[in-house]
Amino acid sequence: MVAPEHYDVWVDKFFIESFSEDIGWRRPFGIVSCCWKHPPFSRAQWQATPELFLIRWFSFAEQQAYEAVIKLENPAEISEKMKESAPFERYGEMVDRPRYNLVLGLAPGGTVVMWIMNSEENAIEVGRYQARRYDHKEEGEDYTRRTETYLERQGDYLRQQGIQYDGW
């Protein structure tokens, strides 16, 4: 899970299911920040390609909460693409490895982009989805303190650049 630079989000629900292997995984993620195509160190090993994702997050820049339920139309195809080796530079040398990372990017406006990669330089977009807005206050969620901390770091950038809703 990643977010664009300057557009931190708080992920409070993240569920993954694989129907073919009858396995699932749940994790309260917390803060997700930069960078867009550099997956964080948080990873999970899977025996099967996940087929269903539920993600719920709060965008600090927009002060908006989103929820996405994503059912992959082509999990077997994505799994096969992940097994293909792709070259990338590592410690000054070119190496070939499978694209073993499945990365979800959360962007302003509720856009969710899915890539497979072993490195930023050979990422392949395999899905693009639109989340729905929901009223986090109705759910009793309060992000005031986290928003204040976020704006201390990114407020100047947002005032100068605004919120970018395209280009993801």
Residue 148: which domain range? Answer: 9-161
Better pLDDT: 13 or 141: 13
Mean pLDDT over 65-75 rounds to 94
How many domains would you assign to the chain? Answer: 1
Rounded distance between C-alpha atoms, residue 88 and residue 76, angstroms: 24
Helix (H, G, I), strand (E, B) or coil at 77: helix
Checking if the pLDDT of 23 tops 80, the result is no
pTM of the model: 0.86
Angle at Cα 79 formed by Cα 9 and Cα 51, nearest 5°? 55
Within a domain: 53: yes
Better pLDDT: 41 or 2: 2
Within a domain: 92: yes
Which residue(s) pair with 70 in the sheet? 53
Rounded distance between C-alpha atoms, residue 81 and residue 101, angstroms: 11
Within a domain: 1: no
In the block, residue with structure tokens 């109705």: 138
Within a domain: 166: no
Within a domain: 127: yes
Of 93, 85, 104, 92, nearest in space to 39 by CA: 104
Within a domain: 3: no
Backbone dihedral region for residue 162 (phi beyond 0: left; psi -120 to 50: alpha; all else: beta) = left
pLDDT (0 to 100) of residue 15: 92
Checking if the pLDDT of 30 tops 60, the result is yes
- Residue 97 has phi, psi (to 5 degrees) of -145, 155
